[in-house]
Amino acid sequence: MSIGSESIIDSIKSRFDSSIYKSDSFRDESTLYVKKDSFLQFCRSLKQDFKFTYLIDITAVDYLDIRVPRYEMVYLFHRFGDDYDENIRIRIKVELEDSDITIDSITPIWSGANWLEREVLDMFGIEFRGHPDPRRILMPEDYKPHPLRKDFDVRNRQPSKESFEKELKEGFE
């Protein structure tokens, strides 16, 4: 499966010359790095002008002690084309500093982003500005750590044990 088509990616690049600061390609999959400030505007245009109407996936990667900025948001979009025959995919990345892990939510643009963003919030603690329902999705709502961060210790069961003991003491209500 190839992700990205040269002509489309070039036209996106020339349109958003100032917001795209890096692009790379590995195994025929093209990635564009977009500046955080202009991300929401970029996404609106991606859907309206470039017809990337189908959101595939949202996730994040934590590069603790490997890279600065530490977090990277990864978005994958699909474009059907007029007769569902183009099927072009594009990967968008936004880098987030450790000091400010908030990003604009794209749920108002693609409603399918709702749960995917909630999962990133749950697993990485990245906050989404303008998300209609910012709650944890997989972990219990009173759970504090963010499991997919690299500094989370898989053998450390302390947080859940603490909250269990607290509830035993104070009652489950």
Partner 1 sequence: MERVEFITESPDSGDGVSTKSMMLNMGPQHPATHGVLRIVLHLDGEIVVKAVPYIGYLHRGIEKLCENITYQQCLPYTDRMDYLAAICNNIGFILTVEKLLGIEDEIPERAKVAEVILFELGRIESHMVGIGTHALDLGAMTAFFYCFKERERIYDILELVCGARLTTSYPRVGGLPLDLPEDFEEKIRNFLKIFPETIDEVDKLLTRNKIWVNRTKGVAFISAEDAINLGLSGPNLRGSGVPHDLRKSNPYLDYDKYDFEIPVGTDGDAYSRYLCRMEEMRQSVKIIEQAINNLPDGPYAADLPEVVLPKKELVYTKMESLIRHFVLVYEGLKPPVGEVYHGVENPKGELGYYLVSDGTAKPYRMRVRGPSFVNMQAIAQMVKGAFLADVITAIGSLDIVLGEIDR
Q: How far is the CB of 18 from partner 1 (least distance, A)?
A: 26
- Cα distance between residue 157 and residue 70, in whole Å: 25
103: closest CA among 149, 34, 50? 34
Distance CA(136)–CA(121), nearest Å, equals: 7
Whole-angstrom distance, CA of residue 110 vs CA of residue 131 = 12
Residue 26 CA to residue 37 CA, distance in Å, equals 26
Binding site for partner 1 (CB under 8 A): 1-3, 26-27, 29, 53-57, 59, 61-62, 66, 74, 76, 80, 84, 87, 89, 91, 110-116, 119, 123, 137-140, 142, 147-148, 152, 154, 172-173
Distance in Å, CB of 62 to partner 1, minimum: 8
Tell me whether residue 17 or residue 153 sits nearer to partner 1 (CB atom): 153
Give φ, ψ of 124 to 5 degrees: -120, -15
- Beta carbon of residue 135, minimum distance to partner 1 (angstroms, whole number): 10
3-state helix, strand, coil in the chain (%, to 5): 25, 25, 45
Nearer to partner 1, 37 or 57 (CB): 57
Give 17 or 85: the residue with its C-beta nearer to partner 1. Answer: 85
Q: How far is the CB of 55 from partner 1 (least distance, A)?
A: 5
For the bound state, the minimum distance from the C-beta of residue 72 to partner 1, rounded and expressed in Å, comes to 9
Which C-beta is closer to partner 1: that of 41 or that of 111? 111
